[in-house]
Structure 1
Amino acid sequence: MVPFFKRKKQSNKGKRQERDSSGSSKNSAEEKDFIGSSLAANVDKIRQKTGYSSDLVIRLINIGPQSEIKIAVLYVKGMVDSQSINDFLIEQIMKNKALQEKIMPNEALDIITEEAVALGGVKSVQDWEELFTVLMAGNTILLIDGINKALSASTQGGARRSVQESTTNVSVRGSKEAFTESIETNTAMVRRIINNPNLWTESMKIGKMTKTEVSIMYINGIAKNEIVEEVRKRLKRINIDGILESGYIEQLIEDQTLTTFPTVHHTERPDCVAGNLLEGRIAILVNGTPFVLLVPALFIDFFQSVEDYYERFDISTALRFLRTVTFLISLIAPAVYIAATTFHQEMIPTQLAIIIAAQRESVPFPAFVEALIMEVTFEILREAGIRMPKAIGSTVSIVGALVIGQAAVQAGIVSPAMVIIVSMTAIASFATPSYAVAISARLVRFVFMISAATFGFYGIILAFIMLTVHLCSLRSFGVPYMSPLAPFIPGEAGDTILRKPIWAYSKRPHLISGENKVSEGKHQKPGPPGPRNMTNHYTEKGE
């Protein structure tokens, strides 16, 4: 039992904390700058705060028998639906019969709120900070002379990019829709796929200057509560001037920064987001970008394409195995060539070794320098092809690679075998579905080249061990990055390099999903009807 005097101290401490919290709440309330009752002063303050911007539209309206009540309608041009403002706001106020009678300003406010405004999202605004936030978000503000608060109506609109096909996550089979820069459109696209009230969305504003709308989306009961709370905590911890793209969020919430491998997955496909939500992941949507973040992310997820689940399991397994092989080729192909030609010539077939030696006879550089020159040249050409205008970018990169490669061979700077190795490595890097992992492989490739030039195949093995240890040490929101391979979970190994049939996905990932882990009912394996069923089938048809 707690002694009486200690309980008394604790109670006094609790009261003191209550007084402190109440005092802080009072201070925060006092710090708010509330809207005044003078319409002219309010409008003038808005003009000054916005720097007399030309895109701020202010429409003054007089109502009442003698036009004694003055109303100001304010909105930012280009961010609103002007037709809705004219038809459902201004016109309704001017035609409302109750507003043409002799009424008080308070009565006019109630009539406008309950009867006149035929728009959704009408709410009262009392302080200046909230007023400027909703005004710059595309809402319309109504100020009434003599009332010390404003009305906000939801009128967001303006020119937006329509829904188009994905340009980064391309697939042969599946949905052709991709996310846009509008967070409302993106949320609706996911809801059209997952028609369930348990799909919950939480929104917040991040960025002191931009006030960017960020939403987290998850399925209640399937997503793990601890991961949802961790995502919420990391987002609320962000204190930055502006969020211009979801990449800002990705860099501010990842578990570890000292790695080239991504620990947050991103996509612009709604069906990919829906599939990950059904597994228990959390989606982070950012207004102004079509790329949605998915957490937690596993290493094996970056080698999977959304159409893997639309094809037969044997075809998908073969394609996943091919992607894994191409990733290894893009990672170590130049290093293997350097090690074999520099330290381990006995491992090369005799005829091939003679051919390579004859080609390299006129090359003045060792194999490592030769590979380094070609790799840096191809990286420059690849970057130039991306940054050049679309009409000539691919042409410049292809022609440049052919011309430079042929000229380098004829000049004796590199050997033809090295051109083949580097070209095969570059093509293999494009076969990786995730661009972020492909970039990581391009960077780690140079580490393998240095290790091979120093210690041969022993250096490659040592680099592989270090890379494996590094990947196993990573976490994505507390989930092991290499799971279900490390730690090995036998029941979930069927969705890694291999892909088991759809009817065998009975359980959701153990480390990601919450309490609801059952994703399928029993007896989902398809098959022909049994003899008894066939007999009944023909009997019913009278055959």
Structure 2
Amino acid sequence: MGFFYKKKKEQLKSTTPPQSQTKESNDKQTLKTKLQDNIKIVKDTLGNSSDIIIREIQIGKGGVLKAGIMYTDGLSDTNSIQDFILESLMLDIKDAELKVELTPNPKIIEMIKDFAMTTGEIKEVTKFDQLFLSLLSGDVIFLIDGYSEGLIIGNSRWVERGVTESTTQTVIRGPREAFSENIRINTALIRRKIKDPQLWMETKIIGKRTRTNVAVMYIKGIANDKVVKEVHFRLDRIDIDGILESGYIEELIQDAPRSMFPTVYNSERPDVVAAAILEGRVAILIDGTPFVLTVPALFVQFFQSSEDYYQRSQITSLVRILRFFSFGIALLAPALFIAATTFHHEMLPTSLLISLAAQREGVPFPAFIEALIMEITFEILREASLRMPRAIGSAMSIVGAFVVGTAAVEAGLISAAMVIVVSLTAIANFVSPTYDMSMSVRMLRFIFMGLAASFGLFGVTVGLIALVLHLCSLRSFGIPYMYPLAPFNISAQKDTIIRLSIWKMFTRPDLISQQNIDKQQNPTAAKPVPPKPTE
């Protein structure tokens, strides 16, 4: 019975192929000789979509040749089609050779491409999969009756946001421009900053349905060849219907998908990506998103900002120490408060202990439940402020936190000290220059709170040991995640927790760039020379 059902299923599959299989078979076909056959296949495959414009024209002296123009309305520049394509084909072609042979002759296609087209990018097309990809990308397709090949004329143009100021990674001093959703604009922004012929870019298409353009950029001779090869290997393995944002790629190529810590860095600032490429990292640009991925990503990289290199080294070093200190506060402040007030009363001064006991006299919940209620409330307010309209989002978050906190204290549900601790934790979490690392801290904070409520400081210590072991076990495209802290590299400490002067940072990270690690050939020449005293 099972064999009969399987045989019947195979017969049905062979006799009634799905529409998608028919479409894919059409995509792999070569172009037909007759123009009407090609137009029919295009219309049938695209379902006679109303935004696909197909126009049949007569070209050559006396209009002896039938031709067809296809483009997608909204993705192509219609003015350029009228001025530089249709006018050239229908009015400017006067060569007598075009009125002769109607049989396939490559000379006519080459002549039109070389002498009649006034646009920049022109490619030949012989397959339907090339035709559909270019047509749905905004290019113009030109076909001639009697010829089994055509031309792809680059003419894509659509409404886009353009280059604006970054909204997620703001700086006081530095460039204001940010990436846009157009991959060609993004690559141009990087090319504008790195005018090196060794800056290579390799483009591939990912997504069976979306056919998204993905570009890999790196400097040949600086980037590690093994990392570049691994990036291509992981990208080529992706088999998915659609790529709509860089988060798809990030989740599919990351090293530790179950880890809370990000192993792929993303940024919407061209200066950040250019600096990463100069250090030997590989940039991955995805069409349709302003966020560019860079690999490998290290733990200390998420505490560095582009503004660190635009300020003096003393200011930058102080700010970086403040960021690491804020990371500890955001991660451990509620847990340490719970452990001290629940298990370790002897660690608190007597006056502080009496004050806390007086505040908690009427509170019906233990410290862990207090912290859990306040943390969840702040997370709700934070997410609500992000999703609400921008005009009232910030006001609602401030008013909501103030009203909820004050009302909870006055009602006797939460102690005032707990409100202070949770508020300080939330503020410290915003010090991180990257959103991904702050999200990791937000999740880990609840785990440490549970350990503190269960085992006190012993549980917090065990949690810290497990966290350090986990971080040391992570890798990003073969590079240890905690480098240069573990493994410890004394020469790489010039730009880790503190930043020395630029003239002292004359080498790149040696584990990232293993080919050319020298950034300055003569570092002493860049050292500032104090002025001589005047006599």
1:63, 1:99 within 8 Å by CA — same for their partners in 2? no
Give the distance between the partners of 1:134 and 1:369, measured in 2 at CA. Answer: 59
Aligned-residue offset at 1:119: 1.2
Partner of 2:59: 63
Asked whether 1:150 is paired with 2:150, we answer yes
Give the distance between the partners of 2:529 and 2:209, measured in 1 at CA. Answer: 60
1:99, 1:111 within 8 Å by CA — same for their partners in 2? no
Instruction: For 1:424, give the aligned amino acid.
Output: L
Give the distance between the partners of 1:49 and 1:30, measured in 2 at CA. Answer: 8
- CA 122–369 in structure 1, closer or farther in 2 if over 3 Å, else same: same
Partner of 1:325: 325
Partner of 1:43: 39
Instruction: For 1:93, give the aligned amino acid.
Output: L
SS at match of 1:60: strand
Instruction: For 2:31, give the aligned amino acid.
Output: I
Superposed counterparts of 1:94-105, under 5 Å = 94-99=90-95, 102-105=99-102
Partner of 1:525: 527
Give the distance between the partners of 1:429 and 1:520, measured in 2 at CA. Answer: 36
Aligned length, in residue pairs: 506
Aligned-residue offset at 1:406: 1.1
Q: Of residues 48, 51, 65 in structure 2, which corresponds to 1:52?
A: 48
Consecutive unaligned residues in structure 1, runs of 5 or more: 1-28, 536-543
Aligned-residue offset at 1:109: 2.0
Percent identity over the alignment is 51
- CA 394–30 in structure 1, closer or farther in 2 if over 3 Å, else same: closer
Aligned-residue offset at 1:185: 0.2
1:299, 1:481 within 8 Å by CA — same for their partners in 2? yes
SS at match of 2:99: coil
Superposed counterparts of 1:134-533, under 5 Å = 134-522=134-522, 523=524, 524-529=526-531
Superposed counterparts of 1:69-84, under 5 Å = 69-84=65-80
SS at match of 2:138: coil
Give the distance between the partners of 1:85 and 1:511, measured in 2 at CA. Answer: 51
Instruction: For 2:306, give the aligned amino acid.
Output: V
Instruction: For 1:364, give the aligned amino acid.
Output: P
Give the distance between the partners of 2:110 and 2:487, measured in 1 at CA. Answer: 62
SS at match of 1:351: helix
Q: Deviations over 1:61-102 (max 9, x none)?
A: 102344221111100011112222222111111222435662
Give the distance between the partners of 2:232 and 2:532, measured in 1 at CA. Answer: 52
Give the distance between the partners of 1:427 and 1:99, measured in 2 at CA. Answer: 74
Superposed counterparts of 1:111-130, under 5 Å = 111-130=111-130
Give the distance between the partners of 2:400 and 2:140, measured in 1 at CA. Answer: 54
1:180, 1:186 within 8 Å by CA — same for their partners in 2? yes
Partner of 1:25: none
Partner of 2:6: none
Instruction: For 1:324, give the aligned amino acid.
Output: F
SS at match of 2:119: coil
Instruction: For 2:422, give the aligned amino acid.
Output: V
TM-score with structure 1 setting the length: 0.91
Partner of 1:26: none
2:26, 2:45 within 8 Å by CA — same for their partners in 1? no
- CA 241–221 in structure 1, closer or farther in 2 if over 3 Å, else same: same
Q: Deviations over 1:153-205 (max 9, x none)?
A: 11111211111000011000110000000000000000000011000000000
Q: Identify the range of structure 1 (340-349 vs 483-492) with the bigger mean alpha-carbon deviation.
A: 340-349
1:98, 1:111 within 8 Å by CA — same for their partners in 2? no
Give the distance between the partners of 1:437 and 1:400, measured in 2 at CA. Answer: 25
Aligned-residue offset at 1:530: 5.6
Instruction: For 1:476, give the aligned amino acid.
Output: S
1:280, 1:512 within 8 Å by CA — same for their partners in 2? yes
Consecutive unaligned residues in structure 2, runs of 5 or more: 1-24
SS at match of 1:98: coil
1:36, 1:147 within 8 Å by CA — same for their partners in 2? yes
SS at match of 1:239: coil
Give the distance between the partners of 2:115 and 2:406, measured in 1 at CA. Answer: 77
- CA 103–530 in structure 1, closer or farther in 2 if over 3 Å, else same: farther
2:35, 2:144 within 8 Å by CA — same for their partners in 1? yes
1:200, 1:217 within 8 Å by CA — same for their partners in 2? yes
Give the distance between the partners of 1:357 and 1:30, measured in 2 at CA. Answer: 77
Aligned-residue offset at 1:337: 0.6
Aligned-residue offset at 1:478: 0.5
Aligned-residue offset at 1:528: 2.1
Give the distance between the partners of 2:475 and 2:217, measured in 1 at CA. Answer: 21
